[in-house]
Amino acid sequence: MTLAIIGGTGLTQIEQLNITGQRELETPFGAPSAPYVLGELNGQSLIFLARHGNPHRIPPHKINYRANIWGLKQLGATEIIGVAAVGGIGAEMGPARIAIPEQLIDYSYGREHSFFADDLAHVTHIDFTEPYTPSLRRRIVQAAASAGIEVYDGGVYGCTQGPRLETVAEIKRMANDGCDLVGMTGMPEAALARELEIPYANISVVANWAAGIGEGEITMAEIEKNLLTGMSNAIALLQATVLSATGG
């Protein structure tokens, strides 16, 4: 079993992680965001990918999601956890909170969102009733409970286009649609993993209240402060998830 983790470069700061190398790949869909970092923890093979590149330079709507996921498949990834900074909409989704969403709504547009697009012998549809693999979600939630890490089990992730943040009216619409979280990278990442039959789940780290939910303007200083705590807990959660799978 090989777990792939997609997120920021800081996610390789897992305690006891042994980095074993890097791999640069070219896929039928072009180059991934960055070289894949290979590692091992407690006998578990891990692959890390910096979604926005290393250094962080690729905006959400320009990420080559197809190359990223295809490359993970090439490297033998058997499950994927996507870690993402998000805005909080629901009352339970305050800054620095971690949520493990169970549903999503896609508001993005113009992205290459399927491997089944050109030169097809037949049209392919995937079942996406549950966009996040239930068994992988449960393992993350159970690992959090065992490690004493507080997470919100559930919620709806709304994926917007970016790179700008949303307006108050847009967030009101999303709230009316049932969204609890707002991010910019959750799709088509989740759907592409499903197309390649790789189990996928999301760890959302709330960086700020979404527009109109909190008071005043959203600042990068506020986001960075909340992410220090939230991402630290996310790294601990990833370690706990790996150890729970390996019996460590």
**Binding site per annotation, positions for substrate:** 184, 208-210
Residue type (1 letter), 172: K
From the annotation, which residues make up the binding site for phosphate?
Answer: 9, 51-52, 185
Backbone angles phi, psi at 57, to 5 degrees: -140, -10
Residue type (1 letter), 70: W
Cβ contact 102:64 at 8 Å? no
From the annotation, which residues make up the binding site?
Answer: 9, 51-52, 184-185, 208-210
Alpha-carbon gap, residue 237 to 233, rounded angstroms: 6
The encoded tokens of residue 95 equal: 């800054």
Residue type (1 letter), 144: A
Residue 247 burial class via C-beta count within 10 angstroms: exposed 0-12, middle 13-18, buried 19 and up: exposed
> Quick one: which of 65, 55, 64, 50 has its CA closest to 5?
50
